Structure 1
Amino acid sequence: MIETMKRTRPRVVDVAFWLWAVGAILLILLGLITVTTSSDGLREQLAGTDGVDTEILLVRALGGLSLAVGLAVGLVVHGVREGRPRSRFVAVLLSAVYSVVQMLLVLVGLHTVFAMTLPLMLLVASVLVFRPEGHGWFVR
């Protein structure tokens, strides 16, 4: 009887998968909340500032970005768990780009430092899949 060798998935890959999965869900929820918030409510919160319409457009665009990144990460995260190097590359790239955008928004003052928790979670997942234990999972 021929036995097939099954590779066991490293724990760091499982942890990275769950970090990305939870991050994708939170990004989608955050994006949906931001995109569907009423303009009147935003106008009341931004009252007294110049260019309210521009700020509302920026809030909507950032919500759309969160929604798009969340959907994209959610689509590729299964491939990461399966050991596909291309999925890992896409997930890490999306995480890095989203994190840089969020850092810039914090530096400019449009977001609070608390908003960096989600990008930090995505970056931790990105680091985990490149650790020596996890890197071997993607080498065929």
Structure 2
Amino acid sequence: MEIAERRPTVVTAAYWLWFVAAVVCVLMGLAYLLVTEEALLTARENIDDVGGLVNLLRMYGGISLISGLFVGVLSGFARKGDPRFRRSLVAFSIMLAIFQIATISVSGFYAVAIVVPAITACVLVYRPAAQPWFER
């Protein structure tokens, strides 16, 4: 009987970090998609173009929602050991981090809650301990 190969701990840790980033992206995306003009007016009194700001937040929310779902799906495949999904997930995570940093004035703390786990996961899956898992 053949002994099943165990997944390295760094791969499992990277998966859970990507999972956290995906959940924060989805929740933040839903929150920004459901924003209303009245909520913005009660939060801030001196907004000139409320309609434009609502559209901007909804666009940002849609991008975040889709990005979170995409990271969640790809991380499952990368966890199984497919090197193609690992490479594409790392590239997408870097693009997501750049997007979150560029729009930090809109997202605030949520950008940090997405960028830090996503970049940490990118580093973990390329550690030497994870290489055999993706080369089998």
TM-score (norm 1): 0.85
Tell me which amino acid in the other structure corresponds to 2:73.
L
1:51-66 correspondence runs (5 A): 51-66=49-64
1:33 is matched with 31
- 1:34 match: secondary structure: helix
1:113 CA displacement: 5.5
- 2:126 match: secondary structure: coil
Pick from 126, 131, 135 the counterpart of residue 131 of structure 2. Answer: 135
**What is the number of equivalent residue pairs in this alignment?**
136
1:117 CA displacement: 2.5
Question: Which contiguous aligned blocks of 4+ residues in structure 1 show a shift greater than 4 angstroms?
Answer: none
1:44 is matched with 42
Pick from 112, 115, 118 the counterpart of residue 108 of structure 2. Answer: 112
CA distance 1:28–1:111, change in 2 (3 Å):
closer
In percent, how many aligned pairs have the same letter?
32
1:111 CA displacement: 4.1
1:137 CA displacement: 1.2
5+ unaligned residues in a row in structure 2: which ranges?
none
Distance in 2 (alpha carbons) for counterparts of 1:93 and 1:12: 18
2:21 is matched with 23
Pick from 1, 11, 23 the counterpart of residue 9 of structure 2. Answer: 11
5+ unaligned residues in a row in structure 1: which ranges?
none
